[in-house]
Amino acid sequence: MNLAGRMKLRPGAALPTIVSSRPMLASRVARGRLADDLPGTLGALFTLCAHAHRLTARRAVAAATGELAVSTAAERLALQAGTAREHVLRIAHDWLRLLPGAPAAEPALRLRSCPLWRDDLEPAEQLADLPAWLAHHWLAEPVPSWLAAQRVDPLGWAVHWCEQAETPLARLLRSQRAAMQAIATPSQALRLLDAPRATMPRPARRMAEEPEFCARPDWLGAPAETGPWTRTADAASVPIHNAWMRLVARLVDLLQLALPAGRDRLAEGAAARPG
């Protein structure tokens, strides 16, 4: 199977800002496999947020085989921990490696002490220990007080914090602010979950009927985003009009997921019914 392909990002350009030549592999690798094997197969294929792909595939298989596809409390807790882990990994690993002019890696951005990677802890215990780890290593203040200040001043708080704090993450964001604030990032959020029973059947039909839809999806004729800044649970989401605010939005989502109320941030859409 040819896995060749490239993805090109064009930040600051008109939408669409992503051009991909990667082949669509899901249907090819799934063909002929047992239904019970599909969640693991798709989680291995889509390694970015693999935990979410596995859970979504499990619910889809359950619905297709006549079961009521409802996630258990344990699965939702694992999804919360897995999403937080994905954020921490991207911030601590990808940002330092890929952002231009990023400072050298510092021990506090390394992950060996992060509770999300402790195999001796259950997801609930990992999440319970996460706020203290973030406060000590990344924020230099408690998670709730950081988020409270951000809610008061969504545009200015992160700027103030990263200029005043002397943590590795603050220094990293400080190094990126001037250049990335100059990169405009127009967006249209994918708001399927405002009225899921009315909206979600439409992309489902297009996925089934249009071979190229999954490679170049659109909503109402335009590209739409599903990043952490588009959560349905956000009454007032973080502004993302420039590239720097998108970095801030990922951090904000992580901090919200780290708190007990974070379990309610990850919507699952309309309940999947048998058939």
Range of the domain at 182: 90-190+226-269
CA-wise closest residue to 144 among 229, 16, 259, 24 = 259
DSSP 8-state symbol, 49: T
Asked if residue 209 is part of any domain, the answer here is no
d(Cα 78, Cα 44) in Å, to the nearest integer?
17
Rg (the chain; Cα; Å):
20
Number of structural domains in the chain: 1
Round to whole Å and give the CA distance between 60 and 103: 43
| Rounded Cα gap, residues 264 and 139, in angstroms | 23
Residue 43 within any structural domain of the chain:
no
In a domain, 167, yes or no: yes
138 within 8 A of 169, measured Cβ to Cβ: yes
Tokens of 260: 């007990």
Residue 32 lies in a domain: no
Taking only the tens place, the pLDDT of each residue in 31-80 is 888 888 888 888 888 877 888 888 888 888 888 888 877 788 888 899 99
pLDDT for residue 85: 95
CA–CA distance, 74 with 23 (Å, rounded to integer): 34
Domain-located, residue 215: no
For the chain, the average pLDDT equals 87
Q: Is residue 130 part of a domain?
A: yes
Phi, psi torsion values for 40, nearest 5 degrees: -65, -40
Amino acid at 27: S
Are 10 and 19 contacting, i.e. CB atoms less than 8 angstroms apart?
A: yes
**What's the pLDDT tens digit per position in 238-248?**
788 899 999 99
Q: Is residue 249, in this structure, part of any structural domain at all?
A: yes
Query: Is residue 177 domain-resident?
Result: yes
